[in-house]
């Protein structure tokens, strides 16, 4: 472990690239301002891992000189260096960078960097960016298309521009993330087709489609979201269930009544009840204990054991407050 500023500054100039990598990482984590001049020099390091570590470290600092160097780094041969450079420039939240980043986007060949540029341009926002981002709704890369939809959703929320006609075609996209982002954006824009597509997604044979649908039901304000999410707790795919649990927790206390009804239903499988217990464990409120304690007398030993573990977890959390 690097123990002092002097030691870190020394290791930044080491002949060993691993030591330079660790020193750069530590300088960023500890926000050591004295290291900034050396970090800027290391943006030209021969080792790509060192350069990546340096750009990430520079996220902990700000300043005109740092920004100038980051803009220069957008021409680095490593796509990961460029990805982190774009993210760091985005942290400055300066709309003056829109034109610059748009120019780099036009000439960027890496899918990862294009997707990141789209994301950052969306965060910078403004109707000025919409025509640029709209072009990438037809990009060959799914990540780029998905980020373009998210960016448009974010910007549209601050403008009066109606972008529905541009996103509706993506409801038929084969990629789960693109489809899910399109549903989420269109629902917020008041497009009726969005919910029907989402209902079909949650019943899809494709695990990733169901997982994405479970996520979207958690973040949109739809009255029947909880009903659909409860059904997914019976899914045979662990990451679909994981998304359903997270989405139910996002709904807060209003899920307690339907969860209680399911727990008392003798037709509900033990597997589903186990997943409901997991939801209660994540929600972790005092009212959750009222639903969990009766399960300590359930016929299923696994359910009793899981309920007891979650009860202990909730109580421990309360004791630590």
Instruction: Judge if 199 and 244 occupy the same domain.
Output: yes
Is the same domain home to 207 and 257? no
Residues of the chain with pLDDT under 50: 1-2
What is the residue-wise DSSP string for 61-90? ---HHHHHHHHHHTT-S-HHHHHHHHHHHH
How many residues are listed for the chain in this entry?
Answer: 321
The domain total for the chain is 2
> Do residues 246 and 287 share a domain?
no
Q: What is the pLDDT of residue 157?
A: 75
Residues 246 and 266 grouped into a single domain: no
Residue 168 lies in a domain: yes
Tell me, what's the pLDDT at 317?
A: 82
Q: Is 130 a domain residue?
A: no
In a domain, 219, yes or no: yes
**Does 274 fall in a domain?**
yes
Kindly state whether residues 216 and 182 are assigned to the same domain: yes
- Alpha carbon distance 69, 277 (integer Å): 51
* Residue 199, domain extent: 162-250
Question: Could you give the CA distance from residue 86 to residue 227 in angstroms, rounded to a whole number?
Answer: 41
pTM for the model = 0.87
pLDDT at residue 316, rounded to an integer = 86
| Long-range pairs for 87-94: beta carbons < 8 A, 24 or more residues apart | 87/59, 87/116, 87/120, 88/55, 88/56, 88/58, 88/59, 89/120, 90/119, 90/120, 90/123, 90/124, 91/59, 91/62, 92/62, 92/67, 93/123, 93/124, 94/124
Does 91 map to a domain? no
pLDDT for 130-147, tens place per residue? 999 999 999 999 999 999
Q: So what's the pLDDT on residue 1?
A: 45
Say which CATH number the domain at 313 has. 1.25.10.10
CA distances from 186 to 190, 208, 248 (A): 6, 20, 21
Which one of 197, 226, 250 terminates a domain?
250
pLDDT tens digits along 188-221: 999 999 999 999 999 999 999 999 999 999 999 9
- Of 213, 232, 250, the last residue of a domain is 250
Indicate if 208 and 178 belong to the same structural domain.
yes
Does residue 100 lie within any of the structural domains? no
Domain end, chosen from 189, 218, 250, is at 250
Together in a domain, 272 and 222: no
Domain assignment present for residue 46? The answer is no
Q: Are residues 243 and 173 in the same domain?
A: yes
User: Is the same domain home to 279 and 289?
Assistant: yes
* C-alpha 274, offset from chain centre: 26
- Does residue 153 fall inside a structural domain? no
């Amino acid at each position: 472990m690097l123990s002092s500023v002097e030691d870190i500054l020394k290791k930044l100039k080491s002949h060993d690239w691993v030591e330079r990598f660790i020193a750069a990482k530590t300088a960023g984590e500890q926000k050591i301002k004295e290291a900034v001049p050396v970090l800027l020099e290391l943006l030209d390091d021969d080792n790509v891992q060192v350069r990546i570590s340096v750009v990430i470290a520079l996220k902990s600092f700000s300043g005109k000189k740092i920004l100038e160097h980051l803009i220069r780094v957008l021409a680095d041969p490593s796509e990961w260096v460029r990805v982190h450079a774009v993210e760091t420039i985005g942290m400055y939240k300066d709309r003056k960078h829109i034109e610059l980043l748009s120019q780099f986007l036009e000439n960027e060949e890496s899918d990862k960097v294009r997707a990141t540029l789209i994301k950052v341009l969306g965060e910078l926002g403004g109707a000025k960016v919409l025509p640029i981002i709209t072009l990438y709704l037809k990009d060959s890369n799914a990540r780029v298309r998905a980020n373009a939809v998210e960016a448009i959703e974010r910007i549209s929320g601050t403008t009066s521009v109606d972008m529905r006609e541009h996103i509706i075609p993506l409801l038929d996209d084969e990629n789960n993330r693109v489809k899910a982002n399109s549903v989420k954006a269109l629902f917020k824009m008041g497009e009726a087709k969005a919910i029907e597509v989402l209902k079909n997604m949650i019943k899809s044979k494709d695990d990733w489609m169901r997982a994405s649908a479970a996520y979207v039901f958690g973040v949109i304000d739809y009255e029947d979201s909880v009903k659909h999410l409860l059904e997914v707790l019976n899914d045979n795919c662990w990451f679909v269930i994981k998304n359903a649990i997270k989405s139910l927790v996002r709904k807060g206390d209003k899920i307690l009544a339907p969860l209680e009804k399911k727990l008392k239903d003798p037709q509900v499988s033990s597997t589903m009840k186990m997943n409901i217990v997991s939801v209660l464990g994540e929600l972790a409120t005092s009212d959750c204990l009222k639903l969990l304690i009766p399960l300590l007398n359930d016929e299923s030993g696994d359910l009793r054991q899981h309920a007891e573990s979650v009860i202990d977890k909730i109580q421990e959390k309360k004791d630590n407050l």
